[in-house]
A = this chain, B = another copy of it.
Amino acid sequence: MTFPASSGYTLAELATRLDARLVGDGTLHIRGLATLKAAEPDQIAFVANRSYLKELSGTRAGAVLLHPEHASACPVARLELANPYLAYARLSQLFDPVLSAPQGEIHPTAVVADDVALGAEVEIGPHAVIEAGAELGDRVVVGAGCFVGAGSRIGAQSLLHANVTVSHGVTIGQRAILHSGSVIGADGFGFAHDGSRWHKIAQLGGVVLGDDVEVGSCSSIDRGALDDTVIGNDVKIDSQVQIAHNVRIGDHSALAGCVGIAGSTQVGSNCMLGGGVGLAGHLTICDGVHVTGMSLVTNSIHEPGVYSSGTGAMANAQWRKNAVRFKQLDDMARRLARLEKRTPEG
């Protein structure tokens, strides 16, 4: 996790890596990636959708990545391909200093238990702590100040940024990216009440993350009560997300920031939850459901589609009048029905 200046690529190299059609000088040296507006002559830019076309003619970029249909409007060298947004994603990884090769070093201040199983070229940062029985796969990077609890397993090429906490008994697949402040495997929220006070239900399950999972900063995924909390492959989780015990999330689903999912709810594959969405506990959400931002879901959803709740913001003075009417809504509905009954059809 150093921060080197990328040495860059020739435009021809980039064309080969992206399988793109090169039009222009292939020897051009490209040192970075930028927007059409900001790009310098040693950078490459891209046109991912039509709304940016107006900036194409004035770009100072050395080259532009775009769909062939926009080629004629491009004033500089270009790489043509069918899906420029996807190509931008791949290109961005080439220029990411964080994703550059790990150094394969274990910092002398890291505290690594004797029996930890370390794959090849594992990097462990300063002041990280790896407890007994943990296993780190090949080329795993554990950032400064991270904690990996007893017996937890982290798959090959996974990256824990600084100050990540992985509790005991957690299993993480390959190529995971866990951002700073995230906590995997803290106790779920389980208590039994004896009529006067709470008794803790020890959380004996673990957490299982599939391959290619990303977890944002300050997000938490709680361990299961008895069975595991399970996150599928290629699930992408943004920052400040809370996933309670025994939740299960299907492959390829994406959760935006501040989402909260209560205990034992199952989310299908290829679902998208907008920012701040809340799912109540013990629900089943089928595959292909998209819930828009800040919606509250209290019932299971059995049909793919887009779902919403709440009301959009309006001027406060107007809102106050309407919000107070909301409390009269059932009464209004009954009065409306009575009126209909006693009003002759026009």
Contacts and interface: CB of A to CB of B under 8 A. Distances in A.
Interface in A305-339: 305-330, 332-333, 335-336, 339
A191 B147 contact: no
A89 B307 contact: no
Contacts of A307: 313-316, 319
A131 to B, nearest CB: 7
Contact of A162 (B149, B179, B280, B311): B149
A182 B218 CA distance: 8
Given A98-B202, A254-B198, A312 B309 contact: yes
Contacts of A192: 83, 85-86, 88-89
Contact of A199 (B89, B107, B227): B89
Interface string A224-255: 01110000001010111010100000001010
Interface of A is mostly: loop
Contacts of A316: 292, 305-308
Interface in A179-225: 179-183, 186-187, 189-194, 196-204, 212, 214, 216-220, 222, 225
A278 B299 CA distance: 21
Interface stretch (A22-30, A71-79, A121-129): A121-129
Given A88-B201, A308-B316, A343-B343, 20 more contacts: A92-B201, A93-B200, A111-B144, A145-B147, A145-B163, A161-B167, A181-B182, A218-B219, A218-B220, A218-B242, A240-B260, A244-B257, A278-B293, A280-B293, A298-B313, A301-B313, A307-B314, A328-B333, A332-B332, A336-B336
8 contacts: A180-B186, A181-B183, A181-B220, A186-B217, A186-B239, A187-B216, A326-B329, A329-B329
- Nearest 5 A-B pairs (CB), nearest first? A342-B346, A3-B150, A96-B202, A186-B217, A306-B316
